Structure 1
Protein backbone atom coordinates (compact mmCIF):
# COMPACT_ATOMS: atom_id res chain seq x y z
CA UNK A 1 0.00 0.00 0.00
CA UNK A 2 2.74 2.47 0.95
CA UNK A 3 4.68 1.64 -2.22
CA UNK A 4 1.57 2.32 -4.32
CA UNK A 5 1.03 5.68 -2.61
CA UNK A 6 4.64 6.70 -3.15
CA UNK A 7 4.45 5.83 -6.83
CA UNK A 8 1.28 7.89 -7.20
CA UNK A 9 2.98 10.79 -5.42
CA UNK A 10 5.93 10.54 -7.76
CA UNK A 11 3.58 11.00 -10.67
CA UNK A 12 2.35 14.28 -9.27
CA UNK A 13 3.93 17.34 -10.84
CA UNK A 14 3.79 19.17 -7.52
CA UNK A 15 5.85 16.49 -5.87
CA UNK A 16 8.59 16.94 -8.45
CA UNK A 17 8.51 20.73 -8.17
CA UNK A 18 9.69 20.60 -4.57
CA UNK A 19 11.82 17.51 -4.48
CA UNK A 20 13.14 17.28 -8.03
CA UNK A 21 13.49 13.57 -7.50
CA UNK A 22 11.33 10.51 -7.78
CA UNK A 23 9.73 9.05 -4.67
CA UNK A 24 10.59 5.65 -6.10
CA UNK A 25 14.25 6.47 -5.48
CA UNK A 26 13.64 7.15 -1.79
CA UNK A 27 14.12 4.56 0.90
CA UNK A 28 12.76 5.41 4.30
CA UNK A 29 14.45 3.73 7.20
CA UNK A 30 11.54 4.29 9.56
CA UNK A 31 7.90 5.25 9.49
CA UNK A 32 8.85 8.39 11.43
CA UNK A 33 11.21 9.44 8.62
CA UNK A 34 8.43 9.03 6.06
CA UNK A 35 6.00 10.95 8.28
CA UNK A 36 8.51 13.78 8.64
CA UNK A 37 9.05 14.00 4.88
CA UNK A 38 5.32 13.99 4.20
CA UNK A 39 4.71 16.64 6.85
CA UNK A 40 7.44 18.79 5.33
CA UNK A 41 5.89 18.39 1.88
CA UNK A 42 2.38 19.28 3.08
CA UNK A 43 3.76 22.35 4.87
CA UNK A 44 5.54 23.46 1.70
CA UNK A 45 2.48 22.78 -0.47
CA UNK A 46 0.08 24.71 1.77
CA UNK A 47 2.29 27.54 2.98
CA UNK A 48 4.95 28.19 0.35
CA UNK A 49 4.01 26.81 -3.06
CA UNK A 50 2.25 29.38 -5.22
CA UNK A 51 -1.00 28.33 -6.84
CA UNK A 52 -1.88 29.86 -10.21
CA UNK A 53 -5.60 29.31 -9.59
CA UNK A 54 -5.31 31.46 -6.43
CA UNK A 55 -3.68 34.43 -8.11
CA UNK A 56 -0.16 33.06 -7.59
CA UNK A 57 -0.40 33.09 -3.81
CA UNK A 58 0.35 30.31 -1.38
CA UNK A 59 -2.81 28.60 -0.08
CA UNK A 60 -2.35 29.92 3.45
CA UNK A 61 -1.92 33.52 2.24
CA UNK A 62 -4.99 33.19 0.00
CA UNK A 63 -7.11 31.92 2.87
CA UNK A 64 -5.99 34.71 5.18
CA UNK A 65 -6.61 37.36 2.52
CA UNK A 66 -9.80 36.18 0.84
CA UNK A 67 -11.76 33.95 3.18
CA UNK A 68 -12.71 36.18 6.06
Structure 2
Protein backbone atom coordinates (compact mmCIF):
# COMPACT_ATOMS: atom_id res chain seq x y z
CA UNK A 1 0.00 0.00 0.00
CA UNK A 2 2.87 2.37 0.74
CA UNK A 3 4.30 1.95 -2.77
CA UNK A 4 0.89 2.68 -4.27
CA UNK A 5 0.48 5.83 -2.16
CA UNK A 6 3.98 7.03 -3.11
CA UNK A 7 3.23 6.42 -6.78
CA UNK A 8 -0.01 8.41 -6.59
CA UNK A 9 1.87 11.23 -4.83
CA UNK A 10 4.45 11.28 -7.64
CA UNK A 11 1.77 11.33 -10.32
CA UNK A 12 0.02 14.24 -8.63
CA UNK A 13 3.27 16.20 -8.23
CA UNK A 14 4.74 15.50 -11.67
CA UNK A 15 1.73 15.13 -13.95
CA UNK A 16 -1.45 16.78 -12.74
CA UNK A 17 -0.36 19.57 -10.40
CA UNK A 18 -1.46 22.87 -11.88
CA UNK A 19 -3.26 21.22 -14.81
CA UNK A 20 -7.00 21.32 -15.33
CA UNK A 21 -8.76 18.38 -16.96
CA UNK A 22 -12.44 18.74 -17.79
CA UNK A 23 -13.03 15.03 -18.41
CA UNK A 24 -11.01 11.93 -17.57
CA UNK A 25 -10.33 11.32 -21.27
CA UNK A 26 -8.12 14.42 -21.36
CA UNK A 27 -5.82 12.73 -18.86
CA UNK A 28 -5.34 9.50 -20.82
CA UNK A 29 -2.59 10.62 -23.23
CA UNK A 30 -0.53 12.55 -20.65
CA UNK A 31 -0.82 9.63 -18.21
CA UNK A 32 0.20 7.09 -20.87
CA UNK A 33 3.28 9.19 -21.67
CA UNK A 34 4.09 9.53 -17.96
CA UNK A 35 3.68 5.78 -17.37
CA UNK A 36 5.93 4.97 -20.34
CA UNK A 37 8.64 7.28 -19.07
CA UNK A 38 8.26 5.97 -15.51
CA UNK A 39 8.67 2.35 -16.65
CA UNK A 40 11.12 2.69 -19.56
CA UNK A 41 13.24 5.80 -18.98
CA UNK A 42 13.43 6.68 -15.28
CA UNK A 43 16.45 5.17 -13.51
CA UNK A 44 16.11 3.57 -10.08
CA UNK A 45 19.05 3.29 -7.70
CA UNK A 46 17.55 0.18 -6.06
CA UNK A 47 17.56 -1.53 -9.47
CA UNK A 48 21.20 -0.77 -10.22
CA UNK A 49 20.33 2.48 -12.01
CA UNK A 50 18.21 0.70 -14.60
CA UNK A 51 14.66 1.52 -15.67
CA UNK A 52 12.17 -0.95 -14.21
CA UNK A 53 11.44 -2.63 -17.57
CA UNK A 54 15.16 -3.17 -18.24
CA UNK A 55 15.57 -4.63 -14.75
CA UNK A 56 12.67 -7.03 -15.40
CA UNK A 57 14.34 -8.17 -18.64
CA UNK A 58 17.63 -8.64 -16.78
CA UNK A 59 15.87 -10.75 -14.12
CA UNK A 60 14.24 -12.94 -16.76
CA UNK A 61 17.52 -13.51 -18.59
CA UNK A 62 19.56 -14.25 -15.48
CA UNK A 63 17.11 -16.00 -13.21
CA UNK A 64 14.25 -17.15 -15.42
CA UNK A 65 11.76 -15.04 -13.46
TM-score relative to the length of structure 1 = 0.61
Within the candidate set 30, 33, 51, 1:58 is matched to 51
Displacement over 3 Å in runs of 4+ = none
Count of paired positions? 54
Larger Rg: 2
Structure with the largest fraction of strand: 1
TM-score relative to the length of structure 2 = 0.63
5+ residue gaps, structure 2:
1-6
Pairwise CA distance, 1:31: 2.3
RMSD of aligned Cα (Å): 2.4
5+ residue gaps, structure 1:
1-7
